Amino acid sequence: MNAHLTDRGAVVTGWGTALPDRRITNADFEARLDTTDEWITERTGMKVRYHGGTTAGLAIDAGRRAMEMAGLTGTDIDYVLLCTTTPDWHVPASAARVQESLGITGGASDLNAACSGFVYGLVHAHALIGMGLRRILLIGSETLSRITDQEDRNTAILFADGAGAMVIEAVDGPGQLLSFDMGNDGTAIELLYCDIGDHLKMVGKEVFRRAVTVMVESARRSMEQAGVTADDLTLVVPHQANIRIIEAAASRLGLSMESVAVSIHRYGNTSSASIPLALVDAIDEGRVRAGDLVLLVGFGAGMSWASAVLRWPAMDGRTAS
Ligand code: UT7
């Protein structure tokens, strides 16, 4: 699965994030559920998360910021790919609202690969560019608070809302994506699922156990395909589900936590928004420069997983003809 599908690669040229207004602390859960700040912090690493808004609304805000940064308007975008496991409706795709609101003249669709969604979407975006599209708005946006039972201490503390977006543009030559890996094990569907109209159900311990394994294996496959080792990576951005999962996977991969992006204490688990939210924070903190190697690795319901190695591009605004 080498990523050099075509001579036409892609690079990221803009990014943005969005969070709803309602800030929820561990103390807020402590006040109404049988839980404590200490338990939540120790068992998950979470401190604060945000609830509210709609999936399309958050996606529009994050997408607009990414387009502004890239210096683009809606008519420049060939496709909006909205990664979400919490669409606003069954029909149509929530991306239709994003397309309309941002004045995008190209296609629009949703992609649901649960918490692996953003990395799946990144690969899809590169594939579409390889086939001739020029500019894609890739968004991970979620309103998980709407499908979480807020009375269930097992899940209420974990799942939250937010969005992160990236503009991906065609370039002549291989571009930023060095390798990728995507997979799914449908025998594990029952471990984490949500029926239509119901709340999320999760077998937390088993998801935890499998999460570490699939993250490590997927990351290794991507690193091997890219011909890089853990020491070569400047930044690793894992899905933010539990600090203990992140630490266990990092340790097995031989990664120092200094290279790992952690924003779980700020946003909780925002599924397909968690990787772009963590990546944008890391960029803002100056942790990645042109030429650096970046590993993204996600896992989630499905049970799905996906990883990708990127060579971080120079922001010189080049686009292919
Ligand atoms: O992004 C999608 C993928 N999702 C994940 O990756 C989540 C993976 N799983 C996890 O992160 C962890 O399994 C959890 C954070 C969900 C749970 O942590 P754990 O260390 O696996 O705890 P546990 O489920 O084994 O529960 C231990 C105890 C139980 O009590 P008993 O049976 O020992 O008396 C739970 O009822 O902790 C209890 N518990 C809580 N206690 C206080 C569960 N939730 C809470 C809570 N506050 N919020």
Given its phi and psi angles, is residue 251 left (phi above 0), alpha (psi -120 to 50 degrees) or beta? alpha
**Annotated catalytic residue, options 26, 115, 124, 194:** 115
| Residue 317 pLDDT | 52
The answer to whether residue 115 is catalytic is yes
| Residue 6 pLDDT | 63
Name the token pair of 86. 């919490």
User: What is the distance, to the nearest Å, from the Cα of residue 211 to the centroid of all Cα atoms in its chain?
Assistant: 15
The answer to whether residue 51 is catalytic is no
Write out the DSSP string of 273-300: GHHHHHHHHHHHTT---TT-EEEEEEEE
Residue spans of the chain under pLDDT 50: 1-3, 321
The answer to whether residue 239 is catalytic is yes
CA dist 258 → 76, 250, 251, 254, 282 (Å): 38, 10, 12, 12, 11
Distance CA 166, CA 64 (A): 10
Q: Which atom of ligand 1 is nearest to the CA of 156?
A: 48
Would you say the CB of residue 56 lies under 6 angstroms from ligand 1? no
Would you say the CB of residue 211 lies under 6 angstroms from ligand 1? yes
Name the token pair of 11. 């690079």
Give the three-class secondary structure for 251: helix
**pLDDT tens per residue across span 255-267:** 999 999 999 999 9
Single-letter amino acid code for the residue at 163: A
Give the three-class secondary structure for 302: helix
Give nearest CA residue, ligand 1 atom 48: 153
Name the token pair of 79. 């496709």
Strand order in the sheet with 135-143: 8-18, 161-172, 135-143, 79-83, 107-111
| Residue 315 pLDDT | 79
Distance CA 197, CA 180 (A): 34
Give nearest CA residue, ligand 1 atom 2: 300
Give nearest CA residue, ligand 1 atom 36: 154
Name the token pair of 128. 């579409």
**pLDDT tens per residue across span 161-213:** 999 999 999 998 889 999 999 999 999 999 999 999 999 999 999 999 999 99
The DSSP call for residue 197 is T
Would you say the CB of residue 269 lies under 6 angstroms from ligand 1? yes
Tell me whether strands 293-300 and 233-238 are parallel, antiparallel or unpaired: parallel
Domain boundaries, the chain: 8-172, 177-311
Q: Which atom of ligand 1 is nearest to the CA of 274?
A: 1
The DSSP call for residue 25 is E
Q: Are 57 and 114 in contact (CB under 8 A)?
A: no
Dihedral of alpha carbons 253, 284, 176, 129, sign = positive
Q: Does domain 8-172 have CATH number 3.40.47.10?
A: yes
Which homologous superfamily does the CATH classification assign to the domain defined by 177-311? Thiolase/Chalcone synthase (3.40.47.10)
Single-letter amino acid code for the residue at 17: T
Strand (E) or helix (H) holding 171: strand 161-172
| Residue 3 pLDDT | 46
Ligand 1 centroid vs 131 CA: distance in angstroms? 44
Q: Which atom of ligand 1 is nearest to the CA of 301?
A: 2
Give nearest CA residue, ligand 1 atom 43: 154
Examine domains 8-172 and 177-311 and report if their fold is the same.
yes
Give nearest CA residue, ligand 1 atom 19: 205
Q: Which atom of ligand 1 is nearest to the CA of 115?
A: 1
